[in-house]
Amino acid sequence: MTEKVRYPSSGRWVEADLAFPSGTPPWPAVILIHEISGTSDHYRDVAERFANEGYLALVPDLYSNDAVFKSLAEHAVHMMGRVRHAQDLEAAIAALNLPPHEHEELRRAAYWDRERDTSTYVPDLLAAIDYLKARPDVRAEAVAAAGYCWGGGLLGQLLVTGADLAAASIYYGEPPDFDHLERVRCPVQGHYGAVDTVVGYKFAPDLEAAMRARGKEFTYFLYEDAPHAFFNDTGPRYRAEAAQLAWERTLEFLGRRLKAHAP
């Protein structure tokens, strides 16, 4: 069963999807952090997959209170990644040879990306942790998070705040701030594509060494012939074999951390 919920954060409400497992609560829980294009049917599907494995799965909509984002054309948001790192934004948009109306829609999406207020995302995720831990059907000591693409980088930012999580699984997200790794409180797992040209993976060995030097656990996996966003089975870069292997590794990792000592 999946339902719409909302939880408080900094005087506002954050909307979210919540997928329920079968069986008797309390359950372990996992927070899913969406990619830059926002939450979608894909993330609701992933939440249901986690629920089928015995987890209460929460997908916060981090753009719940962003009126500009809600006004953007969906196809422009998805295309935004093709120009978001361009030095000359107008030239990058023009090079795509889009129809005039799509040109303007992409420009709006790109400027939203560059000018939006990013200060609410980590507080909204911290509030999500509090929300789950306060629920009587959740084991408060067994709350984890998984982040994908932009959400993977955001999960790294969340971890270095000292967020009280039992485990974290990062899918091809940008690395966290190395200067604050001592604040990480849980084991972390990373999944990276060997041909990812968006985020890459070359920082992973350094991140592993830096985490180990601080007494932290970080284990990462590299997937051959897998590009960025290889886990998203609704996108053009989906790689079924890599996605399945990453899924199995995530379940094994979370199972050891969240289910091994269940009452």
According to DSSP, residue 135 is labeled S
Is residue 153 within 8 A of residue 163, CB to CB? The reply is no
Q: Report the CATH number of the 2-64+120-259 domain.
A: 3.40.50.1820
Cβ–Cβ < 8 Å for 184, 160: yes
User: Looking at residues 9-38, what average pLDDT do you find?
Assistant: 97
Q: What is the pLDDT of residue 1?
A: 86
Q: Are strands 188-193 and 218-223 parallel, antiparallel or unpaired?
A: parallel
Report the chain's mean pLDDT, rounded to a whole number: 96
Domain boundaries, the chain: 2-64+120-259, 67-115
The pTM of this model reads 0.96
Cα dist from 163 to 19, 74, 166, whole Å: 22, 32, 9
What percent of the chain has a predicted confidence (pLDDT) above 70? 99
pLDDT at 263 (0 to 100): 65
pLDDT digits (tens, 9 = 90+) for 73-120: 999 998 998 898 899 999 999 999 999 999 999 999 999 999 999 999
Comparing 81 with 70, the larger pLDDT belongs to 70
Band of the pLDDT at 260, cuts 50, 70, 90? Answer: confident
CB-count burial class (<10 Å; 0-12, 13-18, 19+) for 148: buried
Res 261: pLDDT? 66
Q: Give the angle subtended at the CA of 158 by the CAs of 180 and 218, to the nearest 5°.
A: 65
Query: Could you tell me which residue, 145 or 100, shows the higher pLDDT?
Result: 145
CA distance 17 to 29: 13
What pLDDT was estimated at residue 59? 98
pLDDT for residue 262 is more than 80: no
